[in-house]
Chain A
Amino acid sequence: MELFTNQVLAGIATGAIYACMALAVVMIYQAIDHLNFAQGEMAMFSTFISWQLMQWGVPYWWAFPITLIISFAGGIAIERLLFKPLAKAPVLTNVAGFIALFAIVNSVAGLIWDFTIKQYPTPFGTSPFLGSQLISTHQAGMIGVTLVLLIALYFFFQFTRIGLAMRAAAALPESARLVGINTSWMIALGWGMASAIGAIAGILIAPVVFLEPNMMGGVLVYGFAAAVLGGLSSPLGAVIGGFLVGVFENLAGTYIPGIGNELKLPIALALIITVLVVKPAGLLGRPIVKRV
């Protein structure tokens, strides 16, 4: 039983990483209706920016907001420069654009900061949390930040004018335009916010997985999986999906013989496909009803 509780706790700790990333994925999916394959690389780049600021002697709590602002502006700039002209192109062309962005960001980060693994500081410390060896205070802090972020997003979308405008622009762009919403800028805003949330995710994840240009590869796959599991239209679902994937992955690795570390990822993905086959909109997603 103790093994079980420990594994669940460890799963929640890794799940927090996936939840963070899934939240960023859902954010951009809401705004642009695509899964951004370059999301992880954008988050990695933001994390490197904050690291660089700290190397220049900027204190952590200054580097953090500065990075968020840069990421937000960067996200908007990428949308305006690269993806706005592609808005009318076929969907598959857009996906190719994400792949191109992925290659560019990864390669540029590798050139500026090289591929050696770097330590990244944490503001929460790394001592055991509440006497448990499995969750450190950093991981507890991460879970806390994810939840705060989720609540903030909820309030933003439910109770602010601009949040409402963003939802309207995503749901029915033409009607939104008729009531005077600048839908094009709402998309840009979505990119900016997704980029900033990605930056938070990157900064929280970096102390655990260490900082290097390829740090997000595995995390992004889990982030997608978590987002799809929870339902791409639901931020809460994404966070729950993140924790579920983390816990399931750990339990499967412990209890099913012959799985070990190598097969964790395929098993987690198999679970998600199973869920999707049974419930195609994800756990909390809103099923799309089609009118013919």
Chain B
Amino acid sequence: MSAAEEVITKAPAVEAVPKRGMTLGLGASLVMLAALIIGPLFLKNFIIFQMTMLLIYGLAVLALNILTGGSGQFSLGQSAFYAVGAYTSAILMEHAGVNYALTLPVAGLICFGFGFAFGQPALRLSGIYLALATFALAVAMPQLLKLGFFEHWTGGVQGLVVTKPDPPFGLTMSQDMWLYYFTLAISLGIYIASVNLLRSRSGRAFMAIRDNEIAASAMGVDVALYKTLAFGVSAGVTGVAGGLGAIAVQFVAPDSYTVTLAISLFVGMVIGGVGWLPGSIVGSAFIIFVPNIAEHISKGLSGAVFGVLLFLAIFLVPHGARQVAIVAEQLVRKLKK
């Protein structure tokens, strides 16, 4: 077997998405936002809760998208960062009595540090090896959370119950609805920040590394710094999503954050389109609703139905929701002419 591989002739593992291709046009964004704001006013509490989860997983998928679509690194370990964020929020709220809104930045910062630190050894790994290393992290996390040593804070196997916040300022809306708008505001802030990040100098550095690492370093990009930074940012956003998730579900336990969650997030990213940030919410909808639909179609075969639907999705649109959006955009243009 030839040991030499030609880097230039070989296509990069992650598609090169130009930075303009990463976002939605202004008009489409506003329509989407209006739907997200007005929608819950007409919905039942349970559906509002599901929409909150949709936004939260959307954030987690977005975080993975920054890492993979932006800087070209894989991760099957996002559930570990999600768990750390969730536990940070839960512990701060229940043991230290901190206000729920204030726990989120702390969760984000702690996860940023954790991700940045994990990015250091991960620097030497790429492709399949990085996937395995992050996978190992995801497998190890529930076991670490169960350790007797931390039990005083984490509640061990039983986990922690988190109280749901009431709407502030005497607003008359249900807790679920308040939490939804709270989540929406944070998601929106993070989405805009991520879009700006990818358009900034750092974002261009991420993309340069993704497209050709050697060329990027020749142009003066500090490859090691930006790769670990991408890990840190991704972990930080996932941590905030985890904190929000803990508040919404009102419960944290080690077994909610297994590797299955990491795999779901990965599937969500592929379905949404790698490197297309608005797709994150489509991917998140897929991982929340499709298992329910599958359960509906057949109880015993729900796994198989989920698998078949996933296959259908990747056969029809191998580039995920991004491909659908591009086709739709072209159609709209034709109609206008």
Does chain A have a CB within 8 A of B172?
A: no
Does chain A have a CB within 8 A of B267?
A: yes
Contact in complex: A107, B304 (CB < 8 Å) = yes
A108 to B300, CA, bound (A): 9
Contact in complex: A96, B7 (CB < 8 Å) = no
A99 to B318, CA, bound (A): 15
User: With A90-B318, A289-B3 known to touch, is A99 a contact of B143 (CB < 8 Å)?
Assistant: no
Chain B residues whose CB sits within 8 angstroms of the CB of A272 once the complex forms: 132, 136
Does chain B have a CB within 8 A of A178?
A: no
Contact in complex: B274, A90 (CB < 8 Å) = yes
A266 to B306, CA, bound (A): 29
A290 to B4, CA, bound (A): 6
Main SS of the interface on chain B?
A: helix
Contact in complex: B5, A291 (CB < 8 Å) = yes
* Centre residue among B14, B305, B307, B315 by max chain A CB count within 10 A: B307
Chain B residues whose CB sits within 8 angstroms of the CB of A263 once the complex forms: 143, 147
Chain A residues whose CB sits within 8 angstroms of the CB of B143 once the complex forms: 262-263, 265-266
* Centre residue among A91, A92, A97, A110 by max chain B CB count within 10 A: A92
Does chain B have a CB within 8 A of A276?
A: yes
Contact in complex: A273, B310 (CB < 8 Å) = no
Contact with A along B311-330 (1 / 0, CB 8 A): 10011001100000000000
Chain B residues whose CB sits within 8 angstroms of the CB of A256 once the complex forms: none
Contact in complex: B7, A290 (CB < 8 Å) = yes
Does chain A have a CB within 8 A of B144?
A: yes
Contact in complex: A269, B307 (CB < 8 Å) = no
Does chain B have a CB within 8 A of A125?
A: no
Chain B: residues with Cβ within 8 Å of the partner, total of 52
In chain A, positions 89-139 with a C-beta closer than 8 Å to chain B are 89-93, 95-97, 99-104, 106-108, 110-111
User: With A97-B311, A103-B303, A103-B307 known to touch, is A269 a contact of B6 (CB < 8 Å)?
Assistant: no
Does chain B have a CB within 8 A of A228?
A: yes
Q: Which of A4-12, A164-172, A183-191 contacts B (4 or more CB under 8 A)?
A: A164-172
Does chain B have a CB within 8 A of A277?
A: yes
Name A103's contact: one of B2, B136, B306 (CB within 8 Å).
B306
Contact with B along A19-58 (1 / 0, CB 8 A): 0000000000000001100000000000000000000000
Q: Which of B91-99, B123-131, B201-209, B228-236 contacts A (4 or more CB under 8 A)?
A: B123-131
Distance from B129 Cβ to chain A, minimum over Cβ atoms (Å): 6
User: With A111-B301, A269-B136 known to touch, is A90 a contact of B14 (CB < 8 Å)?
Assistant: yes
In chain B, positions 1-22 with a C-beta closer than 8 Å to chain A are 1-8, 13-15
Distance from B232 Cβ to chain A, minimum over Cβ atoms (Å): 18
Does chain A have a CB within 8 A of B140?
A: yes
Q: Which of A63-71, A197-205, A280-288 contacts B (4 or more CB under 8 A)?
A: A280-288
* Centre residue among B15, B214, B302, B318 by max chain A CB count within 10 A: B318
Chain B residues whose CB sits within 8 angstroms of the CB of A224 once the complex forms: 132, 135
Does chain B have a CB within 8 A of A148?
A: no
Contact with A along B248-269 (1 / 0, CB 8 A): 0000000000000001001101
Contact in complex: A100, B311 (CB < 8 Å) = yes
Contact in complex: A96, B266 (CB < 8 Å) = yes
How many A-B pairs have beta carbons closer than 8 Å: the answer is 148
Does chain A have a CB within 8 A of B308?
A: yes
Contact in complex: B318, A221 (CB < 8 Å) = no
A225 to B139, CA, bound (A): 12
Interface residues on A, range: 35 or more
Name B307's contact: one of A85, A89, A101, A287 (CB within 8 Å).
A101
Contact in complex: B140, A265 (CB < 8 Å) = yes
Does chain B have a CB within 8 A of A245?
A: no
Determine the residue in chain B with the shortest Cβ distance to A271. Answer: B136
User: With A91-B13, A100-B311 known to touch, is A276 a contact of B3 (CB < 8 Å)?
Assistant: no
Does chain B have a CB within 8 A of A151?
A: no
Contact in complex: A96, B303 (CB < 8 Å) = no
Contact in complex: A96, B310 (CB < 8 Å) = yes
Chain B residues whose CB sits within 8 angstroms of the CB of A225 once the complex forms: 132, 136
Contact in complex: B133, A276 (CB < 8 Å) = yes
Chain A residues whose CB sits within 8 angstroms of the CB of B319 once the complex forms: 90, 93
Contact in complex: B3, A287 (CB < 8 Å) = yes
With A90-B318, A107-B303, A107-B307 given, name 20 new contacts (CB 8 A). A89-B318, A92-B74, A93-B270, A99-B266, A100-B306, A100-B310, A101-B311, A103-B307, A107-B302, A107-B304, A107-B306, A108-B301, A111-B300, A221-B139, A224-B132, A225-B136, A270-B140, A276-B129, A280-B124, A292-B8
Write 17 A-B pairs (CB below 8 A) sorted by A numbering.
A89-B314, A90-B15, A92-B74, A97-B314, A99-B307, A100-B314, A103-B306, A103-B307, A104-B304, A104-B307, A107-B300, A110-B300, A262-B143, A269-B140, A276-B129, A291-B6, A292-B8
Q: Report the 9 A-B pairs with minimum CB-CB distance, sorted nearest first.
A: A107-B303, A104-B307, A266-B140, A269-B136, A103-B307, A100-B310, A89-B318, A107-B304, A171-B1
